[in-house]
Structure 1
Amino acid sequence: MKKYLIVVLLVTSTILGANAQLLPSFQFGVKAGLNFSNLKSEDGNWLDASTRTGYQAGVWARIGGAGVHFQPELYLTGKSSEAKLVEENEEGKVTFTSLDLPLLLGTRIGLGPAGLRIVAGPVVSFVVDKNIGDALAQVPEFSEYKNQAWAVTGGLGLDISNFRIDARYEHGLSELSKNDAAPQKVNLWTIGVGYRLF
């Protein structure tokens, strides 16, 4: 009788655990990290940009159970690039401060407190501050930038208990310059560490 009782308890706990994984869930947390960005012209001939380090800090949420989850995020992001205009031989630093809103779909591999995540989706950025070096500000191609940009991002994440670690690549889709003859896009890598509050 004891053996049957133990088997029944094991089967019941397994079924309840599996069902818990299938139920939709909601998570919310905070996150901070670094980005490594550069601003480039599409052809690469007239704008030579080197990568600089920036920051990001904000909040994230995750909605969904086993299988696919939806993960919206909101960050204050500082992006920076060291730019050199090839023809004009001008150099300067360009920085953008933006509110970034990634809308990600992902899946999680693993059960319990540890798991590997794969995420991808669009990012819309609302530029709140633009700072262009004095030398570059005199060049028409650099003096006018749009206040909104789109990108696509994807990467891997790791969950360890309440901690979250992410590494992603973000590819700019929108032309930042208002001058169509001088298209520019921002591409960046990000590394972030987050904590699940609930």
Structure 2
Amino acid sequence: MKKTLTILSLCLLTAKFASAQLIPSFEFGLKGGVNLSRFSTNSTFNSNNRAGYLGGVWARIGGLGFNLQPELYVTGKNIEVKDNNGVTATAQFTSIDLPVLVGGKFGAMGIGGRIYTGPLASFTVNKDQSLGNAFSKAVSLNYKDQNFAWVFGAGVDIKKLSIDARYEYGLTKQPYDASGDKTRVSLFNVSLGYRLFSL
């Protein structure tokens, strides 16, 4: 009898795991988090990590153990730069970001992990640079209105909550006025998501 119950329990768990991975599903939720932004450095200046924020919505379409996850959120990027003379300045940018991520999902019973990658398009809606006069002539940033990045990340789902950590590698080169040098903006962010509903 115990052996029969054990086998039956294993079969039910296997069926539950298989159905969770194979049956197409749709999820939608909210997310918010923090990021660390920085420029790639060059001979003119170096950049330190500064904290920013993000908040928005996500959707996840899954089946056969894979999922497609488009997102839409507002991101605040804060960046600190310092020239070779030790003069420090800050720049703040607000953008609407649209990543489209593809990845794999594993786990069952409401707990699982995810890995994913994909492109991100970023549309700048506000630019605020607090630069000193001398410094601004040397490294004033012509931050573009449309930028692209590539995302690498992983996440954990616990019931309706999702925790994600990801790295965004900037693909768009940002020019500086005087020197002609170019740089990229890269981010590391951690976010918490909440699933509002699923189908």
The TM tier, using the shorter chain, reads: 0.7 to 0.9
Match of 1:123 among 108, 120, 123: 120
Deviation at 1:92, TM superposition (A): 0.7
The reply to whether residue 18 of structure 1 matches residue 15 of structure 2 is no
The reply to whether residue 191 of structure 1 matches residue 190 of structure 2 is yes
Residue 57 of structure 1 corresponds to 55
Residue 104 of structure 2 corresponds to 107
| Unaligned 5+ runs, structure 1 | none
1:23–1:49 distance in 2 versus 1, CA, 3 Å: same
| Unaligned 5+ runs, structure 2 | none
Confirm or deny: 8 A CA contact 2:17 2:107 kept in the other structure.
Answer: no
Q: Which amino acid aligns with 1:60?
A: W
Confirm or deny: 8 A CA contact 2:17 2:108 kept in the other structure.
Answer: no
Confirm or deny: 8 A CA contact 2:16 2:109 kept in the other structure.
Answer: no
The alignment yields a C-alpha RMSD, in angstroms, of 2.7
The reply to whether residue 35 of structure 1 matches residue 32 of structure 2 is no
Q: Distance in 2 between matches of 1:10 and 1:191?
A: 36
How is 1:69-88 mapped onto 2 (pairs within 5 angstroms)?
69-86=67-84
What SS is found at the alignment partner of 2:175?
A: coil
1:32–1:13 distance in 2 versus 1, CA, 3 Å: closer
Confirm or deny: 8 A CA contact 2:91 2:130 kept in the other structure.
Answer: yes
Q: Report the TM-score, using the length of structure 2 for normalisation.
A: 0.85
Q: Distance in 2 between matches of 1:40 and 1:13?
A: 48
What SS is found at the alignment partner of 2:18?
A: helix
Deviation at 1:143, TM superposition (A): 4.7
Question: What are the superposed Cα offsets for residues 117-174 of structure 1, whole Å, 9 maximum, x if unpaired?
Answer: 1011111100111111131673264252210111111111000000000011111111
1:162–1:93 distance in 2 versus 1, CA, 3 Å: same
Q: Distance in 2 between matches of 1:182 and 1:55?
A: 28
Q: Distance in 1 between matches of 2:111 and 2:15?
A: 20
Confirm or deny: 8 A CA contact 1:66 1:108 kept in the other structure.
Answer: no
Deviation at 1:181, TM superposition (A): 2.1
Q: Which amino acid aligns with 1:139?
A: K
Deviation at 1:91, TM superposition (A): 2.3
How is 1:157-168 mapped onto 2 (pairs within 5 angstroms)?
157-168=155-166
Q: Report the TM-score, using the length of structure 1 for normalisation.
A: 0.85
Confirm or deny: 8 A CA contact 2:27 2:61 kept in the other structure.
Answer: yes
Q: Distance in 1 between matches of 2:182 and 2:195?
A: 39
Question: What are the superposed Cα offsets for residues 55-84 of structure 1, whole Å, 9 maximum, x if unpaired?
Answer: 000000000123211000111000111111
Q: Which amino acid aligns with 2:193?
A: G
User: How high is the sequence identity, in percent, across the aligned residues?
Assistant: 41
